[in-house]
């Protein structure tokens, strides 16, 4: 949970809300199939939009917030460009919606979806 204080009081923003915002921003980027994580059996689990917040890890300290995203991309896209777009979009969206400083966004590509 992140907290913002001013002379009128304080605002607590849950990490679940921040994860939902990050999930929304990621899903709007071109080349993304979805968020997903590799399970203990080695298989990738793809999370649907209603499971927003899964496939995202958030850590926070006094310098700002670090957001780890675990994504699945479409076959044929430039992964470097897609990752750069995600980083920019997630950082901008969270800072705009919440006013919380995002120190770093880490994009972990878990898989590439190939249509057969």
SS (H, E, C) 5-69: EECCEEEEECHHHHHHHHHHHHHCCCCEEEEEEECCCCCEEEECHHHEEEEEEEEEECCEEEEEE
Average pLDDT of the chain?
A: 85
The model's confidence at residue 62, banded by pLDDT at 50, 70 and 90, is confident
pTM: 0.82
Evaluate if residue 114 carries a pLDDT over 60. yes
What's the pLDDT at 9? 85
Q: Identify the residue with better confidence: 79 or 51.
A: 79
Mean pLDDT of 68-78: 92
Q: How confident is the model at residue 109 (pLDDT cuts 50, 70, 90)?
A: very high
Residue 43, pLDDT > 70, answer: no
CA distance linking residue 16 with residue 66, whole number of Å: 14
User: Is 3.30.70.1350 the CATH classification of the domain at 2-113?
Assistant: yes
45 token code pair? 């689990």
Look at phi and psi of residue 42 and say left if phi exceeds 0, alpha if psi is from -120 to 50, else beta: left
């Amino acid at each position: 949970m992140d907290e913002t204080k001013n002379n009128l009081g304080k605002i607590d923003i849950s990490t679940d809300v921040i994860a939902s915002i990050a999930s929304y921003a990621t899903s709007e980027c071109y080349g993304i199939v979805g968020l997903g994580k590799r399970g203990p059996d080695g298989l990738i689990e793809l999370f649907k939009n209603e499971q927003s917040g899964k496939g995202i890890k958030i850590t926070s300290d006094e310098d700002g917030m670090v957001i780890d995203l675990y994504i699945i991309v479409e076959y044929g896209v430039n992964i470097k460009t897609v990752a750069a777009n995600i980083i920019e979009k997630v950082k901008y969206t969270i800072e705009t919606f919440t006013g919380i400083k995002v120190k770093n966004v880490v994009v972990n590509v878990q898989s590439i979806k190939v249509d057969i």
